[in-house]
């Protein structure tokens, strides 16, 4: 969001329109908040948490497209190449939630399943993760805005997105951002559901 303020503003306008400003988003709002959903899918596509999945081993000899693959070799799925295929996702390095939306704003059928793997060893926690990601994204955007911090002259400090390499990919730049002005509250009154109060 700090890199894409116009996307943040668009998502917040959508949430304010549907949810209003006196309560937090709830799961019942999810079907009518396609833009937040598209942000989540684009996040999983843009920098997948496990860009090469988790290593697997073949249980038997196999042949795939004229390649002989012996039993017991390590096989890794190049999730990064799939989520950055320019034919499927033009300008793949750009963060564009709109790629998951039709022109009328409704969601496409591409739910970005690649981020959780596939087949027998698909992520067993995907439904927990999916729900948790959505509610965090929607609640955060509802209550806070992320801005670039300002230097002592009041100028925005540029943010360079830098991600770790290795099995798991995470945003390395976030802990190094100066905290000044980074996150600001945008709602003065939030009604906490009684179940949480």
Q: Work out the end-to-end distance of the chain between its first and last CA atoms, rounded to an integer number of angstroms.
A: 29
> Is residue 31 involved in binding ligand HEM (CB under 6 A)?
no
Q: Hey, what are 47's tokens? A: 């920098």
Contact present, 34 and 40 (Cβ < 8 Å): no
> Is residue 89 involved in binding ligand HEM (CB under 6 A)?
no
Distance CA(42)–CA(145), nearest Å, equals 19
Strands (E), the chain: 56-57, 62-64, 67-69, 74-75, 144-146, 183-185
Instruction: Establish whether 123 is an annotated binding residue.
Output: yes
Query: Least distance to ligand HEM from the beta carbon of 27, Å?
Result: 17
Query: Least distance to ligand HEM from the beta carbon of 155, Å?
Result: 35
C-beta of 101 vs 112, nearer to ligand HEM: 112
C-beta of 18 vs 169, nearer to ligand HEM: 169
Contact present, 191 and 22 (Cβ < 8 Å): yes
Distance CA(185)–CA(189), nearest Å, equals 10
Encoded one letter per residue, x for contact with ligand HEM by CB under 6 A and - for no contact, window 109-128 reads ------xxx---xxxxx--x
C-beta of 80 vs 144, nearer to ligand HEM: 80
C-beta of 102 vs 126, nearer to ligand HEM: 126
Which position has the token pair 């990919």?
169
Contact present, 22 and 81 (Cβ < 8 Å): no
> Is residue 149 involved in binding ligand HEM (CB under 6 A)?
no
Q: Hey, what are 31's tokens? A: 């079907």
Query: Least distance to ligand HEM from the beta carbon of 82, Å?
Result: 12
Segment 33 to 62, residues that bind ligand HEM, using CB under 6 A: 49-50, 53-54
Which residue number is nearest to ligand HEM in terms of Cβ?
A: 125
> Is residue 81 involved in binding ligand HEM (CB under 6 A)?
no
3-state secondary structure of 101: strand
Binding-site sequence positions for heme? 123
- Kindly list the residues in this chain that would bind ligand HEM in the complex (CB under 6 A): 49-50, 53-54, 115-117, 121-125, 128-129, 133
């Amino acid at each position: 969001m700090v890199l894409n303020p116009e996307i943040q503003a668009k998502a917040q306008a959508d949430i304010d329109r549907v949810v209003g400003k006196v309560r937090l988003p709830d799961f019942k709002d999810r079907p009518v908040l396609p833009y937040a959903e598209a942000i989540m899918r684009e996040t999983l596509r843009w920098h997948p948490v496990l860009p090469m999945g988790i290593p697997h081993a073949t249980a038997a000899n196999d042949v795939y497209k004229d390649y002989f693959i012996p039993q017991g070799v390590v096989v890794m799925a190049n999730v990064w190449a799939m989520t950055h295929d320019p034919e499927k996702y033009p300008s793949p390095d750009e963060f564009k939630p709109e790629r998951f939306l039709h022109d009328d704003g409704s969601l496409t059928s591409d739910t970005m399943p690649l981020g959780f793997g596939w087949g027998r060893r698909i992520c067993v926690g995907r439904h927990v993760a999916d729900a948790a990601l959505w509610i965090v994204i929607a609640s955060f955007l509802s209550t806070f805005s992320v801005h670039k911090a300002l230097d002592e002259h009041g100028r925005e400090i540029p943010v360079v997105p830098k991600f770790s390499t290795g099995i798991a990919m995470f945003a390395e730049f976030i802990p190094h951002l100066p905290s000044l002005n980074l996150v600001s509250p945008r709602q003065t009154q939030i009604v906490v559901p009684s179940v949480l109060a």
